[in-house]
Structure 1
């Protein structure tokens, strides 16, 4: 009897230890909006970003292949991936690694919408810079959906193509990230 209780306790402890601490997805969406009053076309979407979320530690990470951003205008996509902009042959990925800093305000076990503060490092075009933003965390059943909107200054990442100088591309494009973790 004593061995059975110890065995059942061990099984329960193992189940709790391995229960859904880390969630991942391979279909996070990142939207890029660099429109200006001179040009409404610099918009792109990447639906193949990968992401992970550790519900115990609050660690969160995203990775996107730069060439997977899709523009409505093929010429704009060519410029975006070219040496004067993202130089995606040399800098193939953009990454974010960070943490939810107010993790105690997010209850991953109870359905609801929570406001999270996220701090971390964004790396693109070979440059890493700190980013702080807010995110919405929606818990619904077994799905956790995170959404965040923020802007970056392209000059901070060494991006300075002629279209930026001409005012056709925003100097601080808006980035939107959505990931559903199941």
Structure 2
């Protein structure tokens, strides 16, 4: 191979390697800036109000992951981790007429903060957000949108939201004699404090 051809071949290899190194550096920079926040003890509570009875349940073992770069937010909720003031309520909640927790042990949510640019995760403050995504309960997945607040304080991130769920949309029917005791719309409150992963 002539010397001139070998030099050009060598220069091409060096140029290609530089491009590959640049791409790798850019990717590493992107992932270094991506901030995942995690909680394994987030709180989700449920509230049903009727003229007959108020029903409250709370779960302090919610797992949630928040990515501050993409705005994605995920929740995994063990149904049997909801607790109620009365054992009878808890038993009803888990049985096959309601949540059927043996067959459907988890509920989940996968979505995004739609106005992510409104949140400065590097500055303490409270930021109004809108979250949209898919909620899965039992064998049903439906789109859900909720208003919430992201609070940044001393390196921690707190997410809070309130929204309602129509229980019949998710095949949560219940026994006929209980219908007057359960609201058609269940109020859901989310309160999660995240730490950097």
Q: TM-score, normalised by structure 2?
A: 0.82
Change (3 A) 1:20 1:144: farther
How far apart are 1:15 and its partner, in Å? Answer: 7.2
Residue of 132, 151, 157 corresponding to 1:138: 151
- SS of the residue corresponding to residue 167 of structure 1 reads helix
- SS of the residue corresponding to residue 83 of structure 1 reads coil
Q: Which has the higher helix share?
A: 2
Change (3 A) 1:75 1:53: same
Find the counterpart in structure 2 of residue 171 from structure 1: 184
Measured in 1, the distance between the counterparts of 2:31 and 2:92 equals: 48
Q: Structure 1, unaligned stretches of length 5 or more?
A: 1-9
| Structure index of larger Rg | 2
How far apart are 1:28 and its partner, in Å? Answer: 0.3
C-alpha contact (below 8 Å) 2:34/2:69 kept by paired residues: no
Residue of 33, 38, 61 corresponding to 1:24: 38
How far apart are 1:166 and its partner, in Å? Answer: 2.9
Question: Is residue 78 from structure 1 mapped to residue 78 from structure 2 by the alignment?
Answer: no
Matches for 1:78-157 after TM superposition, within 5 Å: 78-157=91-170
Q: TM-score, normalised by structure 1?
A: 0.88
Measured in 1, the distance between the counterparts of 2:70 and 2:176 equals: 41
- SS of the residue corresponding to residue 75 of structure 1 reads helix
How far apart are 1:14 and its partner, in Å? Answer: 5.3
Find the counterpart in structure 2 of residue 4 from structure 1: none
- SS of the residue corresponding to residue 181 of structure 2 reads coil
Find the counterpart in structure 2 of residue 63 from structure 1: 76
